Amino acid sequence: MSVRRATPDDAPLVQALWREWLRESPPPTYVGEVGALELDKGGVTTWVADMEGVIVGFARAKLDALAIDLMDIYVAPSRRRQGVGSALLAVVADEWPEASHLRLEAALDALSFYNPLGFTEEARRLAVPLQILRGRLTTTEPGRTFGSIHIQTDDLGGIERAVRQFVPRLPGNSRGSIVAPPRNGWIAIYDDVCERDPRQLRRLAKELGDRTGGVVLALGVEKGAVTRFILFERGSVVDEYLSIQEHYGPLPPGDVIALAANPRVVARLTGADPATVRAAAVHGVTPADLPPPEEVLAALAAAVGIEGGDHGWSDAPEVPGAVRIER
């Protein structure tokens, strides 16, 4: 096998490999139709790997300051794991003695080839449809974060003791907690730290679930944009809902489904009507697709028979017999 600079006569064969690459790793749909590959333009140099007169791979690169930009490198599937890619890289690396680095963009499934050669990740290429970006930029700032925890029990004294034990472990300065007596079989907890930090809301709900061994529901709004609930049984998450599943970034399909809420699970643990839960657990791509998150939260709380589930510590409802805990 030899690696050499491409000639005009090689253009059709390189083009064929280029099209094969596009079929294997198509560009994002928003790119549209990709035009023909030009071998040498704008300082780009093209090399080909030749095996017994057959071109089995190519590479394209250019020098940018002291870094070599590897624009493209591709090896025919039937010739992979035979040293073709490494031979192409070796020639590219030797082309410009003044260069100090070689950089490239790589698909995730190609990292097994690059990582052993010493390549490390220095950036990630991100993309978002403008419709989604505009919707989130205009609806999420400013936005209030708040939430509450609800435990399916009538043991007010036991929950008060648990809150006094666990809440001091939460990071940050707190102005206190409120434990509201049972309403419809649910004791409510409103905490200052948990209201501002959904991670601590989740943490306290899990700890209370571990302590009581019962059903615990964490409800809240995050950044004034999305509504979330997390249902625990014996301290383990059994169901979770996020009104915009990919609000914080793309997710695998299984994770998207996991954040859709399971009305049957909710019904089994709370006694709610599955159809009512399904109707309340709405979903959208952007906040503009949905009612205000406070309305979604109120509908979810009502679906499982919780009073005061659409409030946080700062606007907790006045409930006779509520216990205020200073921290």
Same domain? For 186 and 303 the reply is yes
Domain encompassing residue 234: 135-325
Phi, psi values for residue 315, rounded to 5°? -130, 30
Same domain? For 182 and 108 the reply is no
Domain-ending residue, one of 127, 161, 182: 127
Same domain? For 75 and 180 the reply is no
> Angle between the 156-166 and 198-212 helix axes, to the nearest 10 degrees?
130
Q: How many CB atoms lie within 10 A of CB 62?
A: 17
- pLDDT tens column, 290-313: 999 999 999 999 999 999 999 999
In the chain, the number of structural domains is 2
Same domain? For 73 and 199 the reply is no
Evaluate whether 225 touches 297 at the Cβ level (below 8 Å). Answer: no
* pLDDT tops 50 at residue 115: yes
pLDDT at 141: 46
Phi, psi values for residue 228, rounded to 5°? -135, 145
Same domain? For 250 and 153 the reply is yes
- At which residue do the structure tokens 């998207």 appear? 256
Same domain? For 193 and 112 the reply is no
Residue ranges with strand state E in the chain: 2-5, 45-51, 54-64, 67-75, 101-103, 146-151, 177-183, 186-191, 215-222, 226-233, 236-242, 323-325
Query: What is the band of 173 on the pLDDT scale with cuts at 50, 70, 90?
Result: low
Same domain? For 217 and 118 the reply is no
Domain-ending residue, one of 103, 127, 151: 127
pLDDT at 297: 96
Same domain? For 171 and 146 the reply is yes
Domain-ending residue, one of 95, 127, 159: 127
Distances (CA, A) of 184 to 23, 163, 275, 308: 59, 20, 20, 11
* pLDDT tops 80 at residue 32: no
Query: What is the band of 207 on the pLDDT scale with cuts at 50, 70, 90?
Result: very high
Same domain? For 148 and 242 the reply is yes
pLDDT at 172: 65
- CA gyration radius for the chain? 29
Same domain? For 111 and 227 the reply is no
H or E element: which one contains 90?
helix 84-95
Same domain? For 154 and 282 the reply is yes
Beta strands across the sheet bearing 2-5: 2-5, 45-51, 54-64, 67-75, 101-103
